[in-house]
Chain A
């Protein structure tokens, strides 16, 4: 079961993902901001002077009691705060603070205890036993028990919940029968006693504990969810360091400190998430500059000037993400691979990144981000080649674009940079004979529903990992994935992805994913644009920020405090 990578040498996974680097830039005060960047073995934090540091703990002044309000911008109103149902970074950012899982990823993305204090796997790798902490209470006052764990994990497998993590739990004994409606419970999930949970698998899987750290696998109070699951998604209750207080739709979500938190009370008294629908980064920055927010993304316009201005702390590091235009491969003319390939050849992505972002993002040739197991630096992708785009259109029966219906491109953001980008895209497509029509829907829940319904022929979208694993990204291209908005189905890709998920040997797994990625790129169900860089400004009085490669939603706010002396 254990592959060569699991011996005494570091695994390829860690070696690869360790290539990322982080930077903290800013004035002297700002450098005391703590940044513990992800991935165990390498020290990934640098100050502006280039001197590596691991951590610079804030010196003194930390409040003994939770104190201060942290005001965060949120790029869109979440669709739900129910962890099993969340499919966006907006809801995830909040749920991470409200709930706990059995285990969690620490700053280095290594597994650490959560609600489970201890766990062990049987010698054959088939049975996992988790011992829960005793006396941990949900925010509504009841103690979390093994029954809640069984309920929460069963729920992820419930087809009615449509959880994006259901496939991750497919190896739990009885999962298939439950998902197909042939059983009322999952036989492999058992509450042995009030504080012990046993999970039986159908096949040995040494990485199973990682599955329990994903954002969906939080432990929910059975009583509240059973009473009204939809309401629970609007007003959740967990065991996490912050307690949900209030959600003013489209405007603000407020969390308050859980002083009883088993890991110790947070240092902040309150977090207020202010919603800026459609990712209005310039409006966020303006509010930050006025002192009304504690952090902000850096607007693309005047990026270099803003970063150089000072008076803030600039945190920058690579992110495990990809941003792209997805194609609904089931609708005409996008059901023709040649048309999709033509679209890929028509756009000068390097030029676009340089012109719009001052080159701060990394060009995406494929799907897997740098730093992910299986990332293929030799993947050629599609070069900017308008003559080839025209040729492909001709082969598809649209010489010079004649007979080609306009291509509808949807976006969930309508900011200036997105509009400028679309103008460049429009011109580039026009040059090869493709007419593009742009549609905007900045109400995120509506946009997410439209995507799920397959109503967006072309859609602007970004994926952000919750585990630095290739399956995180390529898994979306599996025909059975509930978030396969591409309508994409290729039996070869399905087989490669399924085999890769089961393959314990890391080099063989890499090979399977690379073959799957190449096949996907050849089929062109999407037009990759770039991989994000985590790039954010913090007020200089914000202390103990820890950013891993998973980015913003996973910042542990329990550690953060405000030094306003």
Chain B
């Protein structure tokens, strides 16, 4: 039984280390971290 628990913990730990850190739908994938961009020009009329 103890072996099984340790085995399960090992699997979970391995999964956490291998898992990606940024995914769509998490704040990590937004411009909260850093944005970068370009600008378009215009004639500058009023």
Contact = CB atoms under 8 A, between A and B. Distances in A.
Chains A and B come from one and the same complex: yes
Interface of A: 2-3, 5-6, 10-11, 13-14, 75-76, 86-90, 92, 103, 109-111, 113, 116, 118-123, 125, 164-165, 168, 205-207, 209-211, 214-216, 278-281, 297, 299-300, 323-324, 356-357, 373, 411-413, 415, 417-418, 421, 442, 444, 447-448, 451, 460-469, 471-473, 475-476, 483, 501, 504, 506, 509, 553
Contacts of B18: 123
Given A168-B36, A509-B34, A87 B41 contact: yes
A463 B44 CA distance: 8
Contact of B32 (A14, A88, A216): A14
B7 to A, nearest CB: 23
A244 to B, nearest CB: 19
B43 to A, nearest CB: 4
A211 B46 CA distance: 30
B41 A89 contact: yes
Contacts of B36: 168, 207, 210-211, 467, 469, 471-472, 501
Contacts of B24: 103, 111, 113, 116, 118-120
Contact of B45 (A123, A215, A417): A417
A323 B44 contact: yes
A462 B32 contact: no
Contacts of B33: 2-3, 5-6, 11, 206-207, 504
B38 A466 contact: yes
Nearest to B43: A412
Nearest to A303: B46
B40 A121 contact: no
B16 to A, nearest CB: 10
B5 interface: no
A475 B35 contact: no
Nearest to A473: B39
Contacts of A75: 42-43, 45
A472 B45 contact: no
Nearest to A299: B46
Interface in B1-46: 17-24, 28-46
Contacts of A207: 31, 33-36
Contacts of B29: 111, 119, 121, 209
Given A300-B46, A471-B36, A125 B41 contact: no
B34 to A, nearest CB: 3
A467 B22 CA distance: 20
A353 to B, nearest CB: 11
A463 B41 contact: yes
A121 B20 CA distance: 6
A168 B43 contact: no
Contacts of B44: 279, 323-324, 411-413, 418, 460-462
Interface of B: 17-24, 28-46
A248 B40 CA distance: 23
B22 A120 contact: yes
Nearest to B21: A123
Contacts of A467: 31, 35-38
18 contacts: A119-B29, A168-B36, A206-B22, A210-B30, A210-B35, A211-B36, A281-B45, A356-B46, A412-B44, A413-B45, A418-B45, A460-B43, A460-B44, A461-B43, A463-B40, A464-B39, A483-B41, A501-B36
B35 to A, nearest CB: 4
A278 B38 contact: no
Find the residue from A87, A88, A109, A210 having the highest chain B CB count within 10 A.
A210
Contacts of B34: 3, 205-207, 210, 504, 506, 509
A168 B38 contact: yes
B32 A461 contact: no
Contacts of A214: 37-38
Nearest to B31: A210
A362 to B, nearest CB: 15
A378 B43 CA distance: 28
Given A116-B24, A122-B20, A463 B43 contact: no
B24 to A, nearest CB: 5
A13 B45 contact: no
Contacts of B17: 123
A189 B31 CA distance: 22
